[in-house]
Structure 1
Amino acid sequence: MSYLGLTEDQEHIYRLCLREPGIGLDGLIDQLRLPPNAARRELRRLRELGLLRGGGNSHGRSPAGDDALLAADPDVAVARLLDLRLHELHEKLQRVTQLQPLVASLRAERGEVREPAVVGIEQLTDPPKIRDRIDDLAFFAREEVALVEPAIALRPEEIEQSCPRVLRCLRRGLSVRTVLVRKALDHPPTVAHLRELESHGARVRLVNHTTAKIQMYDRRTAVVPVDPEDATRGALFAQESGLVSNILALFESIWAESEDLGVLLGEWRAVEEDGPSELERMVLRAMCSGGKDEAGARDLGVSVRTYRRYIAELMQLLGAGNRPQAALLARERGWI
């Protein structure tokens, strides 16, 4: 969680409070071996971030008392940290763009007149120019396109503009990953658009909540709005490596928290009389390989959360109490 702004100690405290709801300050200090002053300082910051509540007065364990530390729900916590991180990135981008005229003013001291150079970031406000620049980025991309859209419904003109662009990238063999919010499932035109992208090879996921609006091309160029609340202020095109790395980390954190479109639409079917589907067999084989869930999810091209959901549903279907028993039952039925 470091790229979301938490220190290592803060992450350890939050995770401990998730495992042991109601733990007190003394219990936290004992388990994490933190100096008392440092523990209080990190707790204060976690409370400011809204990740913890309680822990203000007494000492020791007291689940019913003021000292009881309670962690915020992980979905809420991650969404809050993502929003804060995105706000910081926007502020940093805006500060950098505001420095561009500085070079010209300094050169003017020597009597020079020269157009200010773009320092890895460009701001455009004219919508046609923004569309043209994005079309160029998509056309020249050679590896990957990554997108996050926070709107709960895509307008017809947005679908009309973006769909051909993304399909061209897919036809050229690029990897395309896109994330929308789950409420978009309530908008049929948006769902139809996502299904079309997925049918051509795009990987589509949905997240509970995000305010991030990101376009990333070949992990080298990031496009974000100048103001997430006001689209008329234009877009920022960033190629400065430090900023792009931060925006990419933000995208990856959103991607990790999201779930696959097919799963949320109920397309993970139960096993019928004629046996499991090929996807279900792949899940069983990955589970039986003994590897980590992260490796199994990566091999299947799904999130770890989705992979674990697949396994839980197969275990329930097989009537297994644990994974080894599920593997045994699957082998007995000839599914693997």
Structure 2
Amino acid sequence: MNTNSMSVLGLTSTEEDVYRHFLRNPGTPEGEAPGAASPGERESGVRAVGRLRELRLLHGDDANTWAVDPVVAVPRLAGEQLDTAHRTMRQLVDVRPILRSLRHEGPVLGTGAPEDGAAALFRLEDLREVRARVGQLAFGARSEVLAADPCDASTPESAGYARHLDLGRLSKTVRVRVLVRATALADAGSLDRMRHLHLGGAAVRVADELSESVLVYDRHAALVPIDARDTGRGALYTEESGLVSSLVGLFERLWATATDFADLVAADTGQVARLTDTQRLVLAAMCAVSKDETGARQARMSLRTYRRHISDVLRLLGACNRAQAALLARERGWV
């Protein structure tokens, strides 16, 4: 009894019967296929053989026909069905074009919604809402994801907020650009995540100073934290073109002055290969002067920022103190 188990792969029951026939009877004439010799069913049998040839499931000529090995055929058909389903899901994720098209058919009474069906700004105060929206946007992304992450170290909140960087959820055609703060290089978890993204095909750059947290999808939707100091409080979501354009412009300005991750970190070991320009400046000052106040003035930054950079440099070098850091830096040729 035929249960048409291959229907999930896009085959009709007749097409599956024909395919199974040639698996059992390789090299037999095409005319011996199920239904092909019966006058009442000849048309459906011929159509089935023709489609199986189009799907590259049968090869040979009319006199000698073989079925393609299932080990080859089934994964290929499954992949094609998944691609089709994926395209359909992406279209269903964003129904705004359908709404706009239907509204053009006539006035919609009793609604005060804007024409595109979206408010200018949404507050998502529950992290589950944020993650759900991020997952939806990542799945629906078609061309580009921009992400600026100012976190110094990986936290449960930042890890959940950064699900947009799960490259497995993005189409191969989506370009991902990630901007991170240089201080994150001193955190093993953050460094490992950056390396994973880089090896996965994302473009990653490192900025000496970064305080803005931004996510932009296809340049039409964006999220920013309600509180930049505490992403656990939720996010603001917008599709308003002016706001999104401003966030894209901010990201592009930061991106233009940042350093490629590959230039700072060895791809094989994941270890920091050299310092950023600001870290190098602070290291040189630390080795040249004894007082932090003097070093901060030379580096043209606040004392607090200067000391934070020194702390990061010590962690990057694996040094216990400044004297050891200076020795290690000279061994590596950093000063």
User: Which structure: larger Rg?
Assistant: 2
TM-score where L is the length of structure 1? 0.43
Higher relative contact order (CA 8 A, sep 6+): 1
